[in-house]
A and B are shown apart, each in its own frame.
Chain A
Amino acid sequence: MSDCCCKDENMKALDKVLDECGHDAGNLITILQNAQEIYGYLPSEIIYYVASQTGISPARVMGVATFYSQFRLEPVGKYLIMLCKGTACHVNGSDTLEDVICSELGISNGQTTSDGIFSLKTVACLGCCSLSPVMMINDEVFGLLTSDKVIGILNDFRKKAQEEGGTQA
């Protein structure tokens, strides 16, 4: 466990979450959400650790982690692009935007750029349908998108990442 992301110091943060959630299997989803918040994703060490601390099998924990779309088993880039593919966005051309993002970044849905700056994930609905098509980058929502607008936004984030340095979230 020593060479993974979960250094002792970080495990302490997870222990605090587990304590708050009473090591209760009934709170498994909340525990995993917090774990993902801490580590950026759910490495297998964390799956095993949560299983041992809540008294359920690692397979059950893994079952939950793979069932819900929010959980990630791989690390993501500094900026996670969530492209909305809800009905309104679909009607207003989100498929074209996906093509634009993929060709601009050289990745397909679910992948991360080799420089670790962007990850792309399509999502069902962000609930901003009146501004469709919409995407969300980390916690910021961008609406009424066009191909040109998307390229501009990606360039802005790329610049920001270069200025800040570092790649992982």
Chain B
Amino acid sequence: MMKIVVGQGSCGIAAGAGKTYEAIKACMTEQEPFELGSTGCNGMCFLEPIVDIYDGHKLVKRLVNVSADKAEAVVSAVRAGDLSGLSEMVIKPEDEEFLTQQTRIALRNCGIIDPEDIASYKERDGYKALEKVLTSMTPEEVIEEIKVSGLAGRGGAGFPTWFKWNAARQSPGEEKYLICNADEGDPGAFMDRAVIESDPHNLIEGMMIAAYAIGASEAIVYVRAEYPLAIIHLNEAIRQAREAGYIGQNILGTGFSCEFRYMAGAGAFVCGEETALIESLEGKRGMPRLKPPFPAAAGYKMKPSNINNVETFANVAWIILNGGEKFAAMGTENSKGTKVFALTGKIRRGGLVEIPMGQTLRHVIFDIGGGIREDKKIKAVQLGGPSGGCIPEHLLDTVIDYKALSATGAIMGSGGMVVMDENTCMVGMAKFFLDFTSKESCGKCVHCRIGTRRMLEILNRIVEGNGKDGDIELLEELCYSIKDGALCGLGQTAPNPVLTTIRYFRDEYEAHIGEKRCPAAECRDLLMYYIDPDKCKGCTACARKCPADAISGTVKSAHSIDPEKCIKCGTCKSTCKFDAIYVK
């Protein structure tokens, strides 16, 4: 039987997939020779809304940018069994390469299964790994398999997963907790949201396997409140898994028991730090604890606890079913398996990319992402969010590997990959991240609380044209003392965006400070607007729109801008139909 499947992840819905789904449903009569279904996000965000047409389990056509007004055409074509009329909507071969160049493990079911139906997950070997573990493996064997796989924490730090599991297992005590960090706070990263929304059972299964390995009696997902759809799907998946006997008491009759629940976070970036997350789980302000003791010894409720992030757990069931060796066969010596990146910014094909470690950044950006929009020049790529750094164009052949990326001053991080073109100001970028970290600092330690604020003040005066000689050196000095003095990862890594931009784009800082000029023409206070007299037709549109009355000129003759009056709002530039206004 034919089936029309609409991708309805958050991105898809934002692009109108919900309306498309409703429109298709409205076009259907009671008896149709096909079904309508929904799935999560396949990661091709740049083509949403996406509609897949299946014949049984076989994908016959992928339609893209299917707005609601195209619903009728889709329904009639499928009803008639003749899809030839839909060729305008069919995905282009070069866009298909976005997916065919990927190797998907963590995302293997995303955009394929119906996330709200456990049967759909089970059809793709769902819960077989948990059954295998509970019926034929000891906890030690599970930990060994993960050790063989080389799986490392995908949340940012890249700590070996087996080591943490083993530490929690070895920790004395009956009451132990398994926690999933789904507080994906990194601006620019959304792979965890996609996994929870599109394949929630995969997360549950991975967590239950980990719970068995460490001997946990309760598993808890700490999920961002900003992800309402993920919470709905997770809640439903927990209900179904409990009903099917995969969580709760005496699971599958094996005697293993583990409860499962989630808690919605309340919006604090620092809660991505594991001890802050534990504080938050306990109902307190999310302020990091001093380590040691590590969570493996005294975590949630001061009991042994283990925390991993969503993507880490999303690999576990696959590793158990396919063997750790197969996972370890992918990647580099230090970094095994695949990694998911959220490719965004000035990129042509943005979305979720899962590739084996060891490929180059250039491959991801140009071969998979299709390069830069409007054929502009790439300037840098930002990896690791506020804890990471900006990698310049000349280092794009760096391979994706924890050590190689750290050597550039950035970090692998959770996988946010924001691409910047020649029009992005790197000082502005550093200021953007410091603005973020200074607001998100929990305030517990002086270096982070006050140091990031002082850095932000310096960056603010630089972009406003009031930078002074010695500001760069002062910034560097602050960076190193914050790195040394801060208690947790947030503070220790907060200087990274500043350090990397100074390291690779020092000339931009110098231009702002010395020449009071923004080379990327982005910092508003340093910009001057001009009218090109050769292009100006004297239509007066800009003069009429200017809120500051700064533009003068008579009809049909070239206009000019009074720099004294200009408030640099850019209204004239967006109003001009002749591209006559330029910025310097």
Contacts and interface: CB of A to CB of B under 8 A. Distances in A.
B430 to A, nearest CB: 12
A28 interface: yes
B402 interface: no
Nearest to A89: B187
A80 interface: no
Task: Output the residue of A29, A68, A127, A141 with the most chain B CB within 10 A.
Answer: A127
B387 interface: no
A11 interface: no
Interface string A114-150: 0000000001111111111010000101111001000
B188 interface: yes
A130 B10 contact: no
Contact of B225 (A33, A88, A90, A141): A33
A155 interface: no
Given A96-B570, A129-B190, A147-B574, A88 B418 contact: yes
B345 interface: yes
Contact of A87 (B10, B15, B345): B345
B440 to A, nearest CB: 8
Nearest to A61: B283
Contacts of A99: 569
B283 A29 contact: yes
Contact of B187 (A26, A70, A86): A86
Interface string B1-36: 000000000110111000000000000000000000
Task: Output the residue of B11, B228, B265, B432 with the most chain A CB within 10 A.
Answer: B11
A91 B190 contact: no
Contacts of A30: 263-264, 283
B144 interface: no
B188 A125 contact: yes
Please classify how large the interface on chain A is, using the bins under 10, 10 to 19, 20 to 34, 35 or more. Answer: 35 or more
A63 interface: yes
A46 interface: no
A121 to B, nearest CB: 10
Given A28-B283, A86-B188, A70 B266 contact: yes
A34 B284 CA distance: 16
A91 B263 contact: no
Contacts of B574: 147
A14 interface: no
Contact of A128 (B190, B268, B345): B190
Interface of A: 24-30, 32-33, 63-64, 67-71, 85-92, 96, 99, 123-132, 134, 139, 141-144, 147
23 contacts: A26-B282, A28-B283, A28-B284, A70-B267, A87-B188, A87-B385, A88-B188, A88-B344, A88-B350, A90-B187, A90-B432, A91-B344, A91-B346, A91-B420, A99-B569, A127-B190, A127-B224, A130-B343, A130-B344, A130-B351, A131-B45, A131-B48, A141-B14
Closest 6 CB pairs of A and B: A130-B45, A86-B187, A68-B266, A28-B283, A69-B267, A141-B14
